[in-house]
Structure 1
Amino acid sequence: MAVKDRDRFSTATRIRLLGEQTAARVYRSQTKRQARRSRLTGRAALLVLVLCSLVVALAYPIRQYVSQRADIADLQRQKEQARQRVEQLRDLKARWQDDSYAEQQIRLRLHYVMPGETGYVVIDPDAARKARLDHTAADRPWYANVWDGVDKSDASDQ
């Protein structure tokens, strides 16, 4: 009987029926998707609107928070550096309280000698030769530079 039913319909009829069935399935799936889409569209739009509002409302405070955390970290670093510097200065102050350290530094920095001692300054011959060739203002005493300036200004007036 199945053979008779199949023969009863021509190929064109069968193709047309298949097309109609397929079109009906596609139409049903589209309407379901549209129904689902229309249901979610309003909710999704509201959700997106709420999320955007939250992002806009929280953007500035979060930026301020991050900026302040960076400032706090910078201030803590400066505080630690200042603490270390204070510690160094306290050590230096304690050393200067010692008379032998002060005397040593005075002799070293100012070239002072004790009464009865003879002070000598040893000059490296290579450095002296180089100084004679270079004659830079930084290598000479300050008063020599002042007198050179006076001599130059006096010579330019004549």
Structure 2
Amino acid sequence: MLPEVLTVRLLVLSVVVLLAVVLLLPTVRGAVQQSGDLDRLRAELAAHEAERGRLEVELDRWEDRSYVEEQARSRLSYVMPSDRVWRVVDPGAAGADDVDPVTGEAVDAGPVGTTSGDGVPWYQSVWESVQVADGPVG
């Protein structure tokens, strides 16, 4: 009789343990998932707090008048009324608008590639300019 009692007890114990595992497994899995989510949210919060601190420092800088003046000078090219401003012009760029970049010849004022004359009506020279612009390059 002893082996039958032992097997019945073993069978009941294994059913209880299996039932406990089935009931506790979703709870343990949820706890582990929530712990991972909590760690991720804490890291995200720390990153946002660091960004907030950086933005507060930048906002404090904008309260300083000298910083605002320096930013206006560097970003917007503003000058104070007492400043003397020098603007350097590239000497090679002077007169470059009067030369055709393809041929290097001087270009007259008016529509390009048209017959200019006193007897030609304005609309004819405009139409010739459109035809030249629509034509092949070269």
The bucket for the TM-score relative to the shorter chain is 0.5 to 0.7
Match of 1:112 in 2: 78
Please name the residue that 1:60 is paired with.
26
Question: Structure 1 length normalisation: TM-score?
Answer: 0.49
Equivalent residues of 1:96, 1:102 under 8 A apart: yes
Q: Give the 5 Å matches for 1:6-155.
A: 37-115=3-81, 116-120=83-87
What secondary structure is seen at the aligned counterpart in 2 of 1:91? helix
Count matched residues: 91
Over 4 Å off, 4+ runs: 119-123
1:114 alignment partner AA: M
RMSD of aligned Cα (Å): 2.7
CA distance in 2, matches of 1:86, 1:114: 33
1:117 shift after superposition: 2.6
For structure 1, the 5+ residue unaligned runs are 1-34, 124-154
Tell me the CA shift for residue 121 of structure 1: 7.1
How far apart are the structure 2 equivalents of 1:121 and 1:80?
Answer: 49
Q: TM-score, normalised by structure 2?
A: 0.56
> Percent identity of the aligned residues?
33
**8 A contact 1:113–1:119 mirrored in 2:** no
Name the structure where helix makes up a greater proportion of residues.
Answer: 1
Report SS of the residue matched to 1:95: helix
The structural deviation recorded for 1:56 is 0.6
Instruction: Report the CA distance between 1:72 and its aligned residue.
Output: 1.3
